[in-house]
Structure formats: structure tokens, C-alpha cells
Chain A
Amino acid sequence: MLISFWRIPPTATLRLHRWPDEDEYVVHHGAANATHRLSAVAGMFLEYLASGKSDTSGFISLLQELGDDTPEITMANLLEALQRLDIIEPIDAP
């Protein structure tokens, strides 16, 4: 699959929260004033981006390590869903 690069828009002012022993996250998109419940992988991807990484290939590897047999499909679904919520945006290769 094509490698792509993403980031959390700087204007989004995201707040992300997860409780210990739980998989799901809750996220608040400050600019849009929207609150969403996110699956574990979606939240993990946001943490991945927030840590400074931007490439999908690195995250696909992570998904593979976690036992995902179809990491590219998961990645594609994630990108589509999060982009629709305006939580992530594509960027040029760094």
C-alpha cells in the first residue's frame, strides 16, 4: 500500500483520555467542539501522531506486532474515519 503521512491539525486542540484497564479512548476536538469515543487502535494512532511520528508504515508495523492480520485494511479504515472527523490531516513526506 502507498505510504502516507499524517498529522493532527495544530488548530484542533485535541484532548485525549483513556482509563487504566480499558481499551477505548474519549477525545475532544477543541476547534469543532466535538466529543468522540474511539477504539483502542484509533486512540493509539493519535498517540503515535502526537509523539511526533507521521508515517503510516510505522503504525502498520505496530498493528502487525499486536496481532492484526490485516493491518493495511485497519489502517485505511482508521485514516478514513479520523479524517472525516477532521481529527487528522494528510501532510507531505517530511
Chain B
Amino acid sequence: MKKSCADLLHALTHPQAMASFTPSQWDVVVRQARAAGVLGRLGALAQQHGLQQQLPEPVWHALEADLTFAQQQAIAVRYELRRLDRALAKLGIPVLILKGAAYVAMDSPASDGRFMSDIDILVAKPHLMDVESALTGGGWTSQYHDAYDQRYYREWMHELPPMQHLGRHTTLDVHHNLLPETARIKTRPDQVIASSHLLPGTQCLYVPDELDLILHSATHLLHEGEWGHGLRDLSDLYLLIAPRAEQPDFWQRLADRASQLNLQRPLYYALVELRDLFRLAVPDNVLSTPNAILARLMKALLRRGIFSFYPDCHPHLTGIAEFALFVRSHWLRMPAHLLLPHLLYKFWKQTIASDKEKA
């Protein structure tokens, strides 16, 4: 039995609507939101609009529970950033904070009620080894010891293998590009660093310009293959864009910057989803289509991927659609001859591992 996600989507953009949801509506919305990772976000929105008393008590408890979790994670991120600043300050290079950690650092609405597992930072490629040494000295260690995974991350992707702090269990992803070296789309991390500004109270931590935050979020949505979080990422993007959308030159500046960074395509797809699902008013001239047929196919795949978090929301083909998107996501990141062996290797490793557990 398919259930529409209309109520959930509406709540994410018009929080006051939550005050009039019936318990039956909530029975669906809470489960969808929990699966999509946006239940804490609903809690934050409900709190901001003073709706706690107007919601049925068990509903508010569920929202509050995830909100509490997200708030504690934000505290942990702020502390982690402080330790990071201490560990890397001596290198004298800008360390760019990306995505969720940036939202927390900047107190952006996109951080409200948001779960996050990793901290993402970006440094210029020449400094990668120095950064890794400084981190290791500060107590972080690489999670992946397998030589193949190490190579995958270092050579082909755009990051060091994820690092974990020994004492604190936080995971740090150190990138040197917004997209991998081997990706078909070449972008300009140096420009993002150049436009970033120092986070007050720190010595070496920088946060991206607001336009770049938006573009990176759009790129992440399309390229990272983390389909469980598609709706959450879209919600983040909505909260980043909506407050600015009325500013006179905002859309033009966004389109121009997308051109500069060669990220027009991801922006296009993200904006289409925001317009169609979140009813964001996007000026037509910003949505210049790359290629009509490709665009239609891409839209369909993306839509299914975004709703893959909850079975009742997605049409039959999602299993294939999800995989196709995952493959495309990797396709964009790695040339074909490198891609297949990697996916096979990962599959083999997972299968062997699970067989070992059963033995």
C-alpha cells in the first residue's frame, strides 16, 4: 500500500501545518521522517514555531527525542572543531569545513535537528600529507587498513581514508577536492577556498561562502550515492536557499558561481527537485536544461532515489533505480575501467565477510 509523502514534504517547508495533523497522519509522518533522518528536523521546526503544546504528546516526544540527539551531536561537533583547530593551527594553512559541520559552525538553519556522523574538511592537495601527520599526532587514526581501500580513497576519490579519533569516536573525512580527481566533471576547490572566510574564534578553520555551501550541497545530493539521506540533503538545501530566495540578485549570483565552479548540472537537478517537491519558486531562466532526454531520465532516477528511504513512498522499480543512481554516482567519480573492479571487490569483500560470520 503506497503512502504519499506529501504531509512530510509539507511539514518540512510549512512547519505550522504540523499543528493541524491528525494522529493518523502523524502515524505515517513520524515513521517516514524517522526513516529519512529528518525527524529531528521536524522537532527543531516545531520548537522554533512554538508548536510543542499543539502536538499530541507522544508525537512531540518522538520529535523531541531525535531533536535531543541532533543537539547533542552538534555539541560534539563544536568540541571536535575546537580540537581540530588546535591540532592544525601550526600548519598555517586554511582548513575548510564542509557540509554538516559547516552548518553547525555557522549556526545555519540547515544544522537544526540534523543528524551527522562525520566531519568533512577540505585542504589544498599539496598539504594533505602534512595534515595527515598533524592529525595522527593529535590522536586521529586511519580507519581503513586494507591496502585496496587506502588506494581507493587516496588515489581515486577525493579524500583521505576516514580518520577516527582514538578517544572521541568522531569520524573525520579529509578531502582535497569537492569531487574526485577521476571525476568527469572538473571543479575548482581553489576558488572555494579563496572565497571562504575564517570562522571566528579559531585560528585556521574556514567556512565556505554561502553560495558555495549551496552548490556543494547540490553536488553532494547528486554525486555521493548516499540515497538514505537524499531527502535530508534536500531539506538542508531548502533551508540554505529559501531565506535568500527573495534577495534581488541571489539567483543570478548563484547561477554565475555555478558556472565558475563548473557545477551547473548538479545545481539544475537539485533546483528541479526543490521546485517540484518543496514548491520552491525558482526563476525559469536559472533552469536551463542541459539535454532534454537525459534530463528527463535523470529526474526520474533522482526522484526514486530520494524516496528510497521508505518503501511505501517509492514505486516498484526503486531497487534498480537506486543501483543505477549509485552506479552513476560512481561513474561520475571514476572512469569505467576503474569502476567495475572496485564494485566487484567491495561486493566480494562483503560476501566473504558475511560468510565468515556464519561459519
Contact = CB atoms under 8 A, between A and B. Distances in A.
B75 A30 contact: yes
Interface of A: 11, 30-33
Interface string B64-89: 00000000100110110010000000
B75 A33 contact: yes
Contacts of A33: 72, 75-76, 79
Nearest to A31: B79
Interface string B43-83: 00000000000000000000000000000100110110010
B105 to A, nearest CB: 14
Contacts of A32: 79
A32 B82 CA distance: 10
Interface residues of B, number: 6
Q: Which 10 A-B pairs have the closest CB atoms?
A: A31-B79, A32-B79, A33-B75, A33-B76, A33-B72, A31-B75, A31-B78, A30-B75, A33-B79, A11-B82
A30 B76 CA distance: 9
A9 to B, nearest CB: 10
Nearest to A32: B79
A72 to B, nearest CB: 28
A8 to B, nearest CB: 15
A11 B86 CA distance: 15
Interface in B237-271: none
A32 B78 CA distance: 9
A33 B78 CA distance: 11
A33 B79 CA distance: 9
A11 B202 CA distance: 13
A7 B72 CA distance: 25
B314 to A, nearest CB: 37
A82 B82 CA distance: 18
11 contacts: A11-B82, A30-B75, A31-B75, A31-B78, A31-B79, A31-B82, A32-B79, A33-B72, A33-B75, A33-B76, A33-B79
A31 B78 CA distance: 8
A18 B75 CA distance: 25
B343 to A, nearest CB: 38
A33 B169 CA distance: 13
B75 to A, nearest CB: 6
